[in-house]
A and B are shown apart, each in its own frame.
Chain A
Amino acid sequence: MASVDVQNLRKVYTRDSQDIVVLDGMHLQVPDGEFVALMGPSGSGKATLLNCIAGIDRPTSGTVTVGGTDVTSLSEGALAKWRSRHVGFIFQFYNLIPVLTAVENVELPLLLTNLSKEQRRERALTALGVVGLADRATHYPRQLSGGQEQRVAIARAIVTDPDVLVADEPTGDLDAKSAEDILNLMETLNHEFKKTIVMVTHDPRAAARAHVERHLDKGVLQR
């Protein structure tokens, strides 16, 4: 069964009474445990597709089914709850909360669960251990390098053990060495933890680490 199933997805923005078609009848299947890279020029619709899969944007028409749930049919509240349990999002610019330590950032999604304070802290430390930053748990984002910040962000994305990880140019703000570390980590998450990963990237080296590369142009999947 496909972990992600996108059917006839269409997204149209209206700007100054003009319709701009961003996704034009898109079909995409990502099997369970697959690592897919979405590539394409700016404005091709890859980020919008990623946002629709993650449930943070709604399509104009079509369906997005993730782990058997049609996310396009969920209400705002149900969608938020679904995101908290089933999707881990990795941003290009990490987007850690600067006033929280690494472990507090990782713990943030667990605030939405019924876990006790001790259980939350234990799981957050475990996630930090997976990304190799257990010794930086009490450090604030400003005390970490870019690569370390992204690893904390990845720990935050996996701490709830989601079905799917979506990553929006996760290496786009990193130097080559840090980018390599992040890609290794994502490969580990895919191989060892069997996470389905959908990654948007402009970097061919990053895309090469995925099982499958899909190219978009003008809202249509090319290959």
Chain B
Amino acid sequence: MKYLPYVLKHLKRNWIRAASTLAGLVLCIFLICVLQTVLDAMRQTTADADPSRIITRHAVSVNFRLPLSYKPRIQAIPGVRNVAIWTFFGGIYRDLKDYFPNFAVESEDYFRMYPEYRIPPDQYQEYLHDMQGLVMGSDVAAKYGFKIGDQIQMESIQPLYRVHGPMKFNVRAIYTAEPARASRVNLGLAFFHFKYLYETVKDSAGSYAGAGTYNIQIANPSQAAAVMRAIDANFENSDVQTKTETEGAFLAGFVNLIGNLSGLLNTVGVAVAFTILLVTSNTMSMAVRERRTEIAVLKTLGFSGGLVMTLVVVEGLALGVIGGLVGIGLAQGAVRYMTQLPFMGFILGNFSGLSVSPVVIAITFSITVGVGTAAGFVPAFGAYRARITDMLRPA
């Protein structure tokens, strides 16, 4: 410990260079922490999916609509217990920055198969009886100060849904999460009656007035594969073919709309870590090369080669530790607000208390400590081996 002030003073010696290297390390750790946290949250989202629920969508893309006539045909397939339309509306409240995901659903069927959404019975009845009723998550209500009875307008980002301008809604219910299944509930969403959407756009949207997906509850999760095959087979010879998958696979597929995110983020993380290793190594090498004479002086004073080597390694290590702690701290702060970003909020919404996990902290801190130590080791070994008389000679 008595050598630590000496090491830290050297870090301040060329503060611009040290600060630049630290900034690089901080950025590296920040990126890795954030990317890994996003990946973890996405994995958790799909892992928490209910195995008794399957989702039927357009075979080409979730962006196409399914005919409304499909519902009774799906309902008639053995093993299907409940079917509800779920359609992404994409309504913007006030401004894009105020966006919260909202959906048109067949309310009674939908909320019956999603019991984890806890809606006070009286509010729910009010909602069911109001064509323009809106039920929203408690996070949305808290964020915008909505109260029961408030009237709001939202205009869809989808052109075919906004032909008639913004749609009006009455806040009728605010849902919370069933405690036992809280991780499955995104409190940042809003739902309204699909019938309201359909009646509004049926004359102008054509086939786009159809169903986004059919969310299906099945009687026995172990028969999910057979039911899914049966549904798709039912529409195999139709104009609009379907693709049915489990809720988990559907969510995973939604995430993968933006590509192989997991692979991409991991590749970026590794590339960033390797780059910062090179940058830190270069910094340490320059720092040691500049101090040839000082290292010779230390050895002349009686500092052993091992001690000099340790001091240089600790200098690199200190860079790594400081960079790691700052990077992790910034990432921890950033991910808390990530769910408030429009698109990320939709994907990560179930994790309103999102934070960098202890495992990610341990991994990234190990990386930064490893990078700092590795970066200091090579020049430190050079200092260890160098002869005093050679280092005292002008370079």
Residues in chain A within 8 A of chain B (CB atoms): 51, 54, 56-57, 76-77, 80-85, 89, 91, 95, 97-100, 104, 108-109, 111-112, 117, 156
Contacts and interface: CB of A to CB of B under 8 A. Distances in A.
Contacts of B297: 91, 95, 97
Given A51-B389, A95-B294, A117-B2, A109 B12 contact: no
Nearest to B11: A99
A99 B315 CA distance: 14
Q: Which range holds the interface residue count of chain B?
A: 20 to 34
B301 A83 contact: yes
A77 B304 contact: yes
B202 interface: no
**Main DSSP-derived SS at the B contact region:** helix
Contacts of A112: 301-303
Interface string B287-327: 00000011011111111111000000000000000000000
Given A51-B388, A99-B12, 12 more contacts: A54-B300, A56-B300, A56-B389, A57-B387, A57-B388, A80-B304, A84-B301, A84-B302, A91-B297, A95-B296, A104-B6, A111-B6
Given A95-B294, A111-B2, A56 B9 contact: no
**Main DSSP-derived SS at the A contact region:** helix
Contacts of B388: 51, 56-57
B3 interface: yes
Interface of B: 2-3, 6, 9-10, 12-13, 293-294, 296-306, 387-389, 392
4 cross-chain pairs, A with B, having the tightest CB-CB distances, nearest first = A84-B302, A56-B388, A80-B304, A99-B9
22 contacts: A56-B388, A56-B389, A76-B304, A77-B306, A80-B299, A80-B303, A80-B305, A81-B302, A82-B302, A83-B300, A84-B302, A85-B302, A89-B300, A89-B301, A91-B297, A95-B297, A97-B294, A99-B9, A99-B13, A108-B298, A108-B301, A156-B301
Centre residue among B6, B296, B297, B389 by max chain A CB count within 10 A? B297
Contacts of B306: 77
Contacts of A56: 299-300, 388-389
Contacts of A57: 387-389
Contacts of A117: 2
B293 A109 contact: no
A80 B12 contact: no
A84 B6 CA distance: 18
Nearest to A98: B13
A80 B302 contact: yes
A146 B297 CA distance: 18
Contacts of B302: 80-85, 109, 112
B13 to A, nearest CB: 5
A104 B9 CA distance: 11
Centre residue among B2, B299, B301 by max chain A CB count within 10 A? B301
A168 to B, nearest CB: 9
Contacts of A80: 299, 302-305
Nearest to A81: B302
B2 to A, nearest CB: 6
Contacts of A99: 9-10, 12-13
Nearest to A112: B302
